A and B are shown apart, each in its own frame.
Chain A
Amino acid sequence: MSAASPLLVVENLEAGYGPINVLHRLSLTVHVGEIVTIIGANGAGKTTTLNTICGLVKARTGRIVFNGHDLTQLPPHNIVRLGLAQSPEGRKIFPRLTVRENLEMGAYTRTDPEGVAADIQKWYKMFPILEKRKSQLGGLLSGGEQQMLAIARALMARPKLLLLDEPSLGLAPQVVVQIFAVIQELNRQGVSVLLVEQNARMALKIAHRGYVLETGRITGTDRADLLLHDPRIRQAYLGE
Chain B
Amino acid sequence: MFELLAIHPAVAELGQFLILGLVLGSLYALIAIGYTMVYGIIELINFAHGDLFMLGSFLALGVAIGLGVLTADAEVAWVILTIVLMLILTPLFCACLNVTVDRIIYRPLRKSPKLTVIVSAIGVSFIFMNIGLFWRGATPVKFPDLIADTNLIEGTGFRFTWKDAMVVGITVPAMIALTVLVKFTTLGKAMRATAQNPLAAQLMGINVNRVISATFAIGGALAGIASVVYGLYIKSVDYQMGFQNGLYAFTAAVLGGVGNIPGAVLGGLVIGVVGELGKAYLGAKWSEALIFGILIIILLFRPTGLLGARTREKV
Cα-based distance from A67 to B312 in the complex (angstroms): 38
CB–CB A108/B192 < 8 A: no
Cα-based distance from A92 to B196 in the complex (angstroms): 9
Contacts of A106 in B (CB 8 A): 204
A18–chain B nearest beta-carbon distance, Å? 11
The answer to the question of B154 belonging to the interface, with a C-beta cut-off of 8 Å to chain A, is: no
From B193, B208, B309, contact of A105 by CB (8 A): B193
CB–CB A97/B205 < 8 A: no
CB–CB A92/B200 < 8 A: yes
CB–CB B190/A105 < 8 A: yes
A window 115-138: CB within 8 A of B: 137
Query: In the complex, how many residue pairs between chain A and chain B have their CB atoms under 8 Å apart?
Result: 85
Contacts of A95 in B (CB 8 A): 196-197, 311-314
CB–CB A88/B199 < 8 A: yes
A169–chain B nearest beta-carbon distance, Å? 10
B313–chain A nearest beta-carbon distance, Å? 4
A200–chain B nearest beta-carbon distance, Å? 23
A198–chain B nearest beta-carbon distance, Å? 16
The answer to the question of B151 belonging to the interface, with a C-beta cut-off of 8 Å to chain A, is: no
The answer to the question of B148 belonging to the interface, with a C-beta cut-off of 8 Å to chain A, is: no
Closest-by-CB residue of B relative to A85 is B203
From B190, B196, B199, B208, contact of A96 by CB (8 A): B196
CB–CB B314/A105 < 8 A: no
CB–CB B199/A56 < 8 A: yes
A11–chain B nearest beta-carbon distance, Å? 23
The answer to the question of A54 belonging to the interface, with a C-beta cut-off of 8 Å to chain B, is: yes
Interface string of A68-81 (1 = CB under 8 A from B): 00000001111011
Of the stretches A2-10, A27-35, A139-147, A207-215, the one at the interface is A139-147
From B186, B197, B199, B313, contact of A108 by CB (8 A): B186
A167–chain B nearest beta-carbon distance, Å? 15
The answer to the question of A16 belonging to the interface, with a C-beta cut-off of 8 Å to chain B, is: no
B208–chain A nearest beta-carbon distance, Å? 7
Cα-based distance from A187 to B206 in the complex (angstroms): 26
Other than A56-B202, A105-B201, give 4 A-B pairs with Cβ distance below 8 A: A75-B202, A86-B203, A94-B197, A95-B313
B contact set with A: CB distance below 8 Å: 186, 189-190, 192-193, 196-197, 199-208, 309, 311-315
Q: List 6 A-B contacts (CB under 8 A).
A: A56-B199, A56-B203, A92-B197, A93-B200, A95-B314, A139-B312
A contact set with B: CB distance below 8 Å: 54-56, 75-78, 80-81, 85-86, 88, 90-97, 101, 104-106, 108-109, 137, 139-143, 146, 153-154, 157
